[in-house]
Structure 1
Amino acid sequence: MKRILTAIVLIAIVVSLVLLGKLWMITLLAGAIAVLAALEYRTISAAMKSPVPMWWTIGAIALFFLAVFLRPQDTITAVVFSTLVLFAWNALATGVDRVLGETASGVLLLVYIAYPLTLLPQIWSLENGTALLLFLFLCVWCGDIAALYVGKNFGKRKLAPTLSPNKTWEGAIASVVAAVGFGMALIALGNWLSTNGSGYTRLHTSAPWWEYVLLAILLNIAAQFGDLLESALKRGAGVKDSGTLLPGHGGVLDRIDALLLAAPVLWFVWVVKEYFSLGSF
């Protein structure tokens, strides 16, 4: 019951912000989630003897999000500056045998956690960005629920036993099917609302339906790999859950691990479409 109630509250908050919020609200929420997930990541990295200073973790993420929000053209400068600060700190304040490991751990924190979450407000700001962001969430959330239910009740063939013994091929396939089904339901709903006379266009999309089918499959596969990547981190560090902040769900990082790979994949697909003038979503 705790798991279900927590999920309902979180989904309600996120969907409400996507539909009714402003850019700064979505950026602030994404930044807060990034900080919470990064603090949990510090526990994992510390278990691997590569801790990241808390002051740097919070400061680097704040600088990253400020750059994305205020001066997107200087985002890479913010990342490089933060990395060099951490490098210098480790060289001066820690043993020389830990400089490379701790600096590399900090860089991975920015690339793995902060960067994907900075993409969420950017996706929201695109043409048809509201529908696209909700589409991304549905492909991740519904796929995760389907994989959990089908894998638990019908799964027999292990997907990646060394990384996540409970994941099965049956659950993985069900996850893809659910992502396509619920994703296309959102597209159909958005197009119906924009053409039935109600004038609601926030969920309108422009691309043909088959592009969304392919996108849903791609995003869901990326999400499943994202889940496995976090499992690899935790298993390598001997950590069961990234945290205990969310009742019934573990830590924040445990809940967003799939999104951390799916969001960059969506952004990359959009960049490719833009570069080759293949039309918008």
Structure 2
Amino acid sequence: MGETSKRLASAAVLLVLYLFMIFYADFYYLQTYLILILAGIVGIKEFYNLSDRGEDGRPFRGTGTFFMFLIVSFYYFRFIGAQSKFDPPLFFLLNIKYFIPPFDPVPVAFLLLLIVTFTLQITKRPLDGAIFSVSSTFLGVFYIAVPLGHLILLLGMGQGIYYVVLVSVVTFITDAGAYFGGRWFGRHPAGLAISPKKTWEGYGTGIVTAIAAVFIFNTIWESSTGTSAAVRGLEVFLISAILSLVSVIGDLLESAMKRDAKIKDSGSLIPGHGGILDLADALLITIPVLYYYLQIKGNLGFQV
């Protein structure tokens, strides 16, 4: 099987799993939470493999993985707490109130992460590589847990499923369009040392195909659900362009980390793609960007 065939086959399998995770929420997206935790464990392992420098500094893997789990769980409990307002029996059955402090626990968790990693560094390891060890541990948790948590927050919005599918469509079509556009039409290199084979034609094709894909997605969404798409008209061009550009940045960010680590792929879990980070690198950036775009839009008085 060729490389392109492997990519397409893997993408088809993952698409089925992804749709199951989003659409079949029998018990408050519990299966989504569990899948995200598993993806987070694999993703943070890949990140720490990229950032391990041995004696020159290496992340605290167990600590980072635990705090990733903790922070994603906080986001999930926040989602459950919001949903349980409309389901009092669930609220009391799960004692959700004990998991929702009167403050945002996520910043507190990051503060504790810093304290714990600093303490481990000064008590368990030599001073050489201290800054790298602590910062890579912290960055790994932030890079993985925050986007996964914001995916849960997106699902908790009024048209959450629509927005999650929207950001996924734009992100993956941008990547696919850039890949095939570069292969078929690429003539002018983008001149990026991080990814020297990328071309302007590829990037342009990615953005154009993403915009077209959103219009197609809206048509399918409205015909299959009987509800209007939340993003319509000129806003399709705006949000598609923003997310496409951000997805390119997310892809280049992971490429920079891989080049720094001198490896081709972050892992080998997914045939034709590499690791979890190779597949979802752009989503880790586009998901929070879409969430805060919608927050700003709502605060300006527009319907979200």
Within 5 Å, give how 1:181-192 maps onto structure 2: 181-192=212-223
Contact 2:68-2:145 at 8 Å conserved across structures: yes
Match in the other structure for 1:58: 65
Contact 2:40 2:148 in 1 (8 A): yes
Label 1:103 to 1:45 Cα distance change in 2 as closer, same or farther (>3 A): same
4+ residue segments displaced more than 6 Å: none
Distance 2:33 2:160 in 1: 14
Cα distance, 1:160 vs. partner? 4.1
The answer to whether the aligner puts 1:206 opposite 2:230 as a matched pair is yes
Change (3 A) 1:156 1:50: farther
Q: Deviation per CA, 1:152-188: give whole Å up to 9, x if none.
A: 1221111243001221110101110111111121122
Query: Counterparts of 1:263 and 1:50 in 2: how far apart (Å)?
Result: 30
> Is 1:232 equivalent to 2:239 in the alignment?
no
CA distance in 2, matches of 1:251, 1:47: 20
> What residue number does 2:130 align with?
99
Kindly report which structure 2 residues correspond to 1:259-274, keeping only aligned pairs within 5 A, or say none.
259-274=283-298
* Contact 1:35 1:57 (8 Å CA) reproduced: no
1:80 counterpart (111, 115, 138): 111
Deviation at 1:194, TM superposition (A): 4.4
| Distance in structure 1 (CA, Å) of the matches to 2:255 and 2:72 | 26
Mapping of 1:218-257 within 5 angstroms?
218-257=242-281
CA distance in 2, matches of 1:3, 1:208: 31
CA–CA distance in structure 2, aligned partners of residues 7 and 208 of structure 1: 27
Q: Distance in 2 between matches of 1:217 and 1:208?
A: 14
Any residues of structure 2 matched to 1:113-124 within 5 Å, and which? 113-124=144-155
How far 1:207 moved relative to its partner? 4.4
Residue aligning to 1:11: 15
**TM-score, length basis structure 1:** 0.91
Percentage identity across paired residues of the two chains: 26
Query: How much does 1:267 deviate?
Result: 1.3
User: 1:29-63: CA deviations, max 9, x gaps?
Assistant: 22221211110111111148432122112211111
Structure 2's unaligned 5+ residue stretches are 79-99
Gaps of 5+ in 1: 196-200
Query: What are the equivalent positions in structure 2 for 1:90-169 lying under 5 Å apart?
Result: 90-169=121-200
Q: TM-score, normalised by structure 2?
A: 0.85
Q: How many residues align structurally?
A: 273
Aligned to 1:20: 24
Asked if residue 275 in structure 1 is aligned to residue 299 in structure 2, the reply is yes
Cα deviation 1:121-160 (Å, max 9, x = unaligned) = 1101111111110010000111111111110122111124
